[in-house]
Chain A
Amino acid sequence: MTSQRKLRILVAKPGLDGHDRGAKVVARALSDAGYEVVYTGLHQTPEMIAAAAVQESVDAVGLSIMSGAHMTLFPAVIEALRARGAGDVLVFGGGIVPDEDLAPLKTAGVAQVFKPGASTEEIIKWVETHVRPRAEAG
C-alpha cells in the first residue's frame, strides 16, 4: 500500500512590487486545502524561485505578479527551472494580466493564469485536476 502524495507548492512573489496580500491569501488557501506551501516572500528573482523549487521538490510554482512585468517574469522562471532540470514543475500564477497576454503566456509554458476575481476554490480545483495526477505518477 502506497501513501498518497502530499502536494507541495511554492508560492513566490517575483519582481519589485510589494503587494503580497494576494500571494498570502492563496498560500493560506492552498494550506487549508491540505497542501504544503513553501512561501518565500517578496522580491524574488527567477533564479531564487527556481533554486528553491528544486531544493524543496515542489510539484508546482505559483507566482503572483502585480507589477505588469508578467511577460518577462513568467518565462524567466520557466527558463530558470528548465536550466536546473526541473522543467516538469508546473508554473501557474495570478495578478493583473490583460486578456491579450494569456495566449502568449500559455505558449511560453505557463500552465494557468488566474485573473483578479478568481476564487480560491477555482485554484484548488485546478491543482487537483492538473497537479495531483502528475504528483501521484512521480
Chain B
Amino acid sequence: MANDPAELAERIASGDVRAAARLMRDLDDIRPGAIAVMKHLYPRTGRGFVLGITGNPGAGKSTVVDALISLYRAAGKRVGVVAVDPTSPFSGGAILGDRIRMQRHATDEGVFIRSLATRGHLGGLSRSTGEVVAVLDAMGYDVVIVETVGVGQDEVDVVSQAECAVVVTVPGMGDEIQAIKAGILEIADVLVVNKSDREGADRAVRDLFAMLELRGHDAAPVEIVRTVATSGKGIDELAHAIDRFRERGIHASDVPNAGGITPRRRRRAQATLRELVVDRLRRATDGALAARPELVDEVAARTTDPYTAADELVRAITASK
C-alpha cells in the first residue's frame, strides 16, 4: 500500500487511530517511510503538554497515570499515554502490562494508550518514545503522559522528553529513599508519596523534605504531594501542583526568548536532535564495522591499535556521507 506521506500525515493528524498506531509501529521497527511521515507531522507538534511519570518499580506509576487520565478527561482534555516496560535482555521479548491499570479508559475515544518496550535502550524509555509522543502531540492530544519503566538511580531520560517530571515513591522505603536520591530525585519537578495511607507516609514526606533542603538556595521549589492513587485521593492536589510548576516555569527561570521558545523547550529539542544523530551514527558505525572485518582482526591480533582503527572507521563513515 503506497501511501503518500503527506496524505498519511494528514489522516493521522485528523485522528485516524489505526493509521497513527501503525506509524508508531513503523517508527519502533525503524521501517523506511516512517520518517517521511514524521517530517510532515513535526510542524503540528509542540501544542500538547508532555508530562513524565517515573519512579521505583511497584510505586504505583500506572495507577497514578490512570487517576490522572480520569481527572484530565473530566476537565474535557484529550489524553495520550506512552507506557514503557523493559525488554528482556535474554529473549528480546517483553510483557507490556501497564494497560491493566488503565483499562477503564480503553474504549474512551478521548484516550490513546500505547505500550512500548525498551528494546535495549537505557535511560528508562525506548528509543522511539520521543517519536511516539510527537505523533500523539500532532494528533492534538492536550496532555501526553509518558510513564517510564520502574527506575533505580540513573534512568533519567524522561527529563529530556517531558515538560514536567513527576517522581512517584512510596512509604516504607527507609534507606532506599537515600539510594534513589542520586538520580531520579534530582530530576523531580513534583514529588509524589503514593500509597500514603500506609504506615510510614509521614516519615517518607519528612525524608524527602530533608533531602530537598540539602539542595542549594537557588534550587527550584519542588512540591511533595501525598496520594492514594487507587482511590483517587490526592490526585486533584497533584494536578494542581503540576499546574503550579508550569506557572512557575513560565514566569521564573523559563523565560521565553524573542521567538517565544523557553530554555526548557529548547533543551528538549536539542535532546531530540542529539538522540537522532547518535542513533544514525550508531547504525553507521555498525555498517562500517561490518564492512571492515579485517580492522577488527588487526586490533584483536594487536597489529593495529584500537585508536588508529577507530579514527579510520570514523573517516570511512564521514566520507560515505
Contacts and interface: CB of A to CB of B under 8 A. Distances in A.
Nearest to A138: B22
Interface string B76-120: 000000000001100111111101100100110000111101010
Given A2-B31, A31-B93, A84 B119 contact: no
Given A2-B31, A48-B107, A31 B88 contact: yes
A56 B91 contact: no
A86 interface: yes
A30 B93 CA distance: 8
B32 interface: yes
Nearest to B81: A55
Interface residues of B, number: 31
Given A51-B106, A54-B18, A55-B112, A39 B100 contact: yes
B93 A56 contact: no
B95 A37 contact: yes
B147 interface: no
A123 interface: no
Contacts of B96: 36-39, 56
A40 interface: yes
Contact of A85 (B18, B32, B97, B103): B18
Nearest to B28: A6
Given A40-B103, A41-B103, A57-B24, A32 B115 contact: no
Contacts, number: 90
Contacts of A45: 107
Nearest to B94: A36
B114 A55 contact: yes
Interface string B247-285: 000000000000000000000000000000000000000
B95 A52 contact: no
Interface of B: 17-18, 21-22, 24-25, 28-32, 87-88, 91-97, 99-100, 103, 106-107, 112-115, 117, 119
Given A5-B29, A37-B93, 8 more contacts: A3-B30, A32-B88, A32-B91, A38-B115, A39-B95, A39-B96, A40-B100, A56-B115
